[in-house]
Amino acid sequence: MSFLICGAVWLLTVHLPRENVSCWGLRSADGSPERPHSDPKRSWDALQRQKRNWVWNQFFVLEEYTGTDPLYVGKLHSDVDKGDGNVKYVLTGDGASSIFTIDEKTGDIHATKRLDREEQGYYTLRAQAVDSKTNAPVEAESEFIVKVQDINDNEPKFLNGPYTAGVPEMSPLGTMVVQVTATDADDPTYGNSARVVYSIIHGHPYFSVEPKTGIIRTALPNMDRETRDQYVLIIQAKDMVGQMGGLSGSTSVTVTLTDVNDNPPRFSRKSYQYSVLESVPVPSVVAKLKATDADIDSNAEMDYHIIDGDAPGVFNVTTDEETQEGVIFLQRGVNVPVPTP
């Protein structure tokens, strides 16, 4: 069996002239691929030399075709067909009649519906040349594929967004915060329709994003949580490698600066003065002090100590865990000396 299979791929609505129609890649019966030829005569000569050793490979159809006429897919031709009308072509398989039609006299195949590669990427069809009067096969049935060729009709999407992340305050410049990922439903193996680059739309100059990886890093050193503890970033992903005309999608990233213990406790006054009656029983609370700490959580938990004084052993201090106050209590009785007359 020998079939000449020619097809043309159109971009947008540009009609290729007849001399640009080329014979698409054929595959020999032993499975070895044959390079496509731009010269139809050369391909036909090859078919004649290797008669009955060829099967079809595939045709290509551009998705989302918006023309008013059926989209030309390709042409089937049997060497048994002498052009006298005694041979007709029959198309069966995936989408035959409902999507793809064939001119039974010429073998021309057209797509009659708009195709979406993201819904179905290829169609497997079978063609046969039969006697136009008896419908008896004059060639064995053969199978081929119509592949839907991608256009850039899908924008990148952040399927896991919006994001939240934390990074310690005072982190060095370039500290990794989080990685965002956008996916594009277009064909990653064809052109740049699914090649995404990342940029930061809102969040300068505090953070940056790596264009290829989507990794967000700190762009300023020593960001202080006590000055500002939260930032909302807007990250954009754009296909076509970020070129003009590419489609884009965006997501938000809320970054919280987590606390580190970088602030000491501070008292509101440099000194405090209290009086204690000699008759106060032991133990008795004689005073409460409270220091404040700009840090939070465990970094702001207090622990009070007496480090110096003129009455060693008389007083002691503990920490009230609920109020974070220092509670000074009498540990030993106070004896006030009586002045001599």
User: How does pLDDT run across 163-214, given as a tens digit for each residue?
Assistant: 999 999 999 999 999 999 999 999 998 889 999 999 999 999 999 999 999 9
Among candidate residues 103, 126, 149, the one where a domain is terminated: 149
Residue 129 lies in a domain: yes
The pLDDT of residue 59 is: 86
Across residues 97-119, what is the average pLDDT? 92
Q: pTM to 2 decimals?
A: 0.68
Average pLDDT score over residue span 28-44 = 38
- Give percent of the chain above pLDDT 70: 81
Cβ-based neighbours of 85, under 8 Å, separated by 6 or more:
105, 132
Residue 180 near residue 217, CB atoms below 8 Å: no
pLDDT score for 15? 33
Q: Please report whether residue 24 resides in a domain.
A: yes
Greatest distance between any 2 Cα atoms in the chain: 149
140 and 15, same domain (yes or no): yes
User: Is 237:263 a contact under the CB 8 Å cutoff?
Assistant: no
CB 216 within 8 A of CB 202: no
Query: What are the φ and ψ backbone dihedral angles of 72, each rounded to 5 degrees?
Result: -70, 130
- The reply to whether 43 and 94 lie within a common domain is yes
Grade residue 254 by pLDDT with cuts at 50, 70 and 90: very high
| pLDDT at 294 > cutoff 90 | yes
Q: Are residues 118 and 142 in the same domain?
A: yes
The pairing of strands 108-111 and 71-78 is: antiparallel
Domain containing 247 — which CATH number? 2.60.40.60
Q: What is the pLDDT of residue 139?
A: 85
DSSP secondary structure code for residue 48 in this structure: H
* 7/128 same-domain check: yes
- Residue 246: which domain range? 163-258
Q: What is the pLDDT of residues 218-251, one digit of tens each?
A: 999 999 999 999 999 999 999 999 999 999 999 9
- Residue 16 shares a structural domain with residue 123: yes
Give the residue among 105, 74, 73 at the shortest CA–CA distance from 89: 105
* Structural domains counted in the chain: 3
Instruction: Report yes or no on 157 lying in a domain.
Output: no
Cβ atoms of 7 and 21 closer than 8 Å: yes
User: What number of residues does the chain have?
Assistant: 341
